[in-house]
Amino acid sequence: MDSGTDKEKASALAKWVAGESRVMVAMGAFSPRINHAYIRAVFHIGAPVSAIDFMQKVGRAGRDNEGGISCIFLLKNWKVVDVRLVGKLLPDEIKVM
C-alpha cells in the first residue's frame, strides 16, 4: 500500500506537530527523533513483536506527564505464533504485554 511520497509524509507530520491535525497514523513506532509530548493514545493492530517493541511504542504516549493509554487489537482467532509454547504457560516476555 502506498502511503505517499516523502514530501507528503513530512507535510502530514509537520501539520500534526503544529496541532493542525489531531490524529497521526503510522505503521510502526515513530523514529526516536519524534518526541511529541501530547500523544494520548497508542493503538497496536496485531500483537507486538516483543516486549521491547511494545514498550517503545507505548512510551510515545503521555510524555507531558498527563497520561495516555495503549490498546492492542488482536484478531478473534489470535494464537501464540511460537508452536513451542502451545499448551504451556506464556513466557514473561509475552505476559508483560
CATH code assigned at 60: 3.40.50.300
Which residues of the chain carry a pLDDT beneath 50? none
pLDDT of residue 91: 66
- Is 90 contained in some domain? yes
For 94, residues 6+ apart whose C-beta sits below 8 A from its C-beta are: 51, 80, 85
End-to-end CA distance of the chain: 28
- Is 86 contained in some domain? yes
pLDDT of residue 7: 92
Number of domains present in the structure of the chain: 1
